[in-house]
Amino acid sequence: MRILHTMLRVGDLDRSLAFYTDVLGMRLLRRKDYPDGKFTLAFVGYQEESEGAVLELTHNWDTASYDLGNAYGHIALEVEDAYEACTKIKEKGGNVVREAGPMKHGATVIAFVEDPDGYKIELIQRKNRND
């Protein structure tokens, strides 16, 4: 078994696609409209679906926003340099909600950004082999 994807419901698909592709550098892997169901599915990721897990962005045509609830945590992305990633994300209009720095009670360097729907994405700086 392996994880295929994580699904997020989004209120504005074009806005979300712009964030995940332009700001976070993912690729749009596939997109399909389902007129009878009044929804669109778009899959984004850094690798092909056969190579690794991706995100499924689900846009229900009649829903402009969602309540995130308090059970959802975040998506985690590994980055070479969390400080540099935050700078680039801000330059592209992304919302950094926790600047890069060591995690509380630890040494791992992390940051958090927020997508247009309010979903949190953690950036975890890749550790050196000596860490």
Parallel/antiparallel/unpaired status of strands 75-79 and 120-125: parallel
Q: Name the β-bridge partners of 80.
A: none
Q: Contact 34/82 with Cβ under 8 angstroms?
A: no
Residue partners of 10: CB distance under 8 A and separation at least 6: 16, 57, 58, 59, 116, 117
Amino acid residing at 3: I
**Rounded distance between C-alpha atoms, residue 62 and residue 131, angstroms:** 49
Active-site annotation holds for 56 = no
Q: Is residue 127 within 8 Å of 80, Cβ to Cβ? A: no
By annotation, the residues acting in catalysis are 122
